[in-house]
């Protein structure tokens, strides 16, 4: 979906270039050649306008992509078949495949396009292709070349994107990826009015771990802590390493009580699971937007204040930024609240 938003304006400009070429060629080809391009453009407009309504938007995009290839094939068939100057146009939509789909999707699109090329050359003008096979070989070679190059470039881009949003040591999301997720949540809250919970956490006395055992052990502790945090979270709860021994968890839809319960579960897991071969603990501060509004700076400041309170109170505990205590269990006094 994100890539489709990026491609939409570029696709519009590409279609405008093709339309301009057809206008200049109208004297020789005829004005009717604009019709297939217009049909393809209308198809994309319709799908783009309703894309968010589809449960599987990739199928809708695949359908309109195939429509575009069919319209180009129709233009090729009516403007000379194997000799058509529009033959090269079939390679243009192939460039976008790797931006939306994995390797299987790219292969399926290439096979579909190659079949259209064979149909519009061998199927409609076998005699020409039999005596001059270059009219089929050259377009097929260009098609495969475009697919290979675009896929390699997209894979490289994805690798760089992944490196830019993931912490290289722990594999957790980093501060840069947090910024984009916060913006998404702000828009989501406007529609759903659901609360957003946040947990901030620090490894207790982490400096002592580095000083006493060395940075290699310290790194092992960070890796194991990150693994334990992720393991205890739901699939749609996102955990981030902000730097050093600081971690943050976003809990969409979580109330203050929910945040306290999750934080206490995480605290208990870390306390009872050796990290890097050592027994470590963590302090947690939590806050929830309550669903009424979503001010990220205020929410983060509240959770930070709760975290510092947990540290002042002796560490290895959960403090909730709430006017009321959010106790996880009646006999557990580790979870308190910042009034």
Q: Is the pLDDT of residue 146 over 80?
A: yes
pLDDT of residue 291: 63
Domain extent, residue 245, equals 175-337
Residues 139 and 183 in one domain: no
Q: Are 123 and 175 in contact (CB under 8 A)?
A: no
Is residue 233 in some structural domain? yes
**In the numeric block, which tokens belong to residue 97?**
């495949």
Nearest-angstrom CA–CA distance, 122 and 126: 4
pLDDT tens-digit map of 99-139: 778 888 889 999 999 999 999 999 888 888 889 999 899 99
Backbone region of residue 59 per phi and psi (left: phi > 0; alpha: psi in -120 to 50; beta: other values): alpha
Query: Radius of gyration of the chain from Cα atoms?
Result: 28
Instruction: State pLDDT tens for residues 248-273.
Output: 999 988 899 999 999 999 999 999 98
Pair (47, 189) in one structural domain? no
Task: Give bridge partners of residue 196 from the DSSP assignment.
Answer: 252
Helix (H, G, I), strand (E, B) or coil at 283: strand
Residue 229 lies in a domain: yes
* Contacts for 142-149: CB closer than 8 Å, 24+ residues apart: 142/88, 142/91, 143/90, 143/91, 143/94, 143/110, 143/113, 143/114, 143/117, 144/110, 146/91, 146/94, 146/95, 147/94, 147/97, 147/98, 147/106, 147/109, 147/110
Q: Are residues 197 and 52 in the same domain?
A: no
Question: What would the mean pLDDT of 150-170 be, rounded to a whole number?
Answer: 67
Give the total number of structural domains in the chain.
Answer: 2
Identify whether 170 is part of a domain: no
pTM of the predicted model as reported, rounded to 2 decimal places: 0.53
First-residue to last-residue Cα distance in the chain: 42
Q: Quick one: what percent of the chain has pLDDT higher than 70?
A: 87
Amino acid 33: pLDDT: 72
Q: 144 with 28, same domain? A: yes
* Catalytic residue ranges: 245
Q: In terms of domains, do 154 and 198 share one? A: no
- How far apart CA 250 and CA 179 sit, in angstroms, is 12
pLDDT higher than 90, residue 141: yes
Distance from C-alpha of 185 to C-alpha of 8, rounded to nearest angstrom: 23
């Amino acid at each position: 979906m994100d890539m489709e938003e990026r491609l939409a304006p570029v696709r519009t400009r590409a279609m405008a270039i093709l339309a301009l070429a057809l206008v200049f060629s109208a004297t020789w080809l005829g004005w009717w050649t604009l019709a297939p391009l217009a049909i393809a453009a209308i198809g994309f407009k319709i799908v783009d306008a309703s894309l968010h309504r589809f449960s599987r938007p990739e199928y809708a995009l695949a359908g309109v992509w195939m429509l575009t290839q069919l319209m180009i094939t129709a233009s090729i068939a009516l403007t000379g078949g194997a000799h058509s100057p529009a033959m090269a146009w079939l390679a243009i939509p192939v460039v976008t495949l790797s931006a939306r789909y994995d390797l299987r999707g790219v292969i399926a699109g290439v096979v579909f396009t190659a079949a259209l090329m064979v149909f519009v050359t061998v199927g409609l003008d076998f005699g020409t292709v039999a005596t001059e096979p270059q009219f089929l070989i050259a377009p097929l070679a260009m098609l495969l070349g475009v697919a290979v190059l675009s896929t390699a470039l997209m894979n490289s881009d994805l690798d760089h994107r992944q490196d830019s949003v993931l912490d290289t040591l722990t594999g957790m999301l980093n501060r840069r990826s947090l910024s984009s997720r916060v913006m998404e949540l702000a828009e989501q809250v406007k529609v759903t009015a659901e609360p957003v919970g946040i947990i901030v956490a620090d490894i207790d006395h982490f400096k002592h771990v580095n000083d006493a055992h060395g940075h290699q052990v310290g790194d092992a502790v960070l890796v194991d802590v990150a693994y334990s945090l992720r393991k205890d979270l739901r699939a749609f709860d996102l955990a981030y390493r902000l730097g050093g021994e600081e971690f943050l968890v976003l809990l969409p839809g979580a109330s203050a009580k929910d945040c306290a319960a999750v934080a206490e579960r995480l605290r208990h897991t870390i306390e009872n699971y050796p990290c890097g071969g050592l027994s470590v603990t963590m302090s947690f501060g939590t806050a929830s937007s309550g669903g009424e509004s979503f001010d990220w700076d205020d929410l983060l400041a509240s959770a930070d204040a709760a975290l510092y309170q947990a540290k002042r109170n002796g560490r290895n505990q959960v403090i909730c930024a709430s006017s009321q205590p959010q106790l996880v269990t009646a006999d557990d006094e580790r979870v308190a609240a910042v009034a």
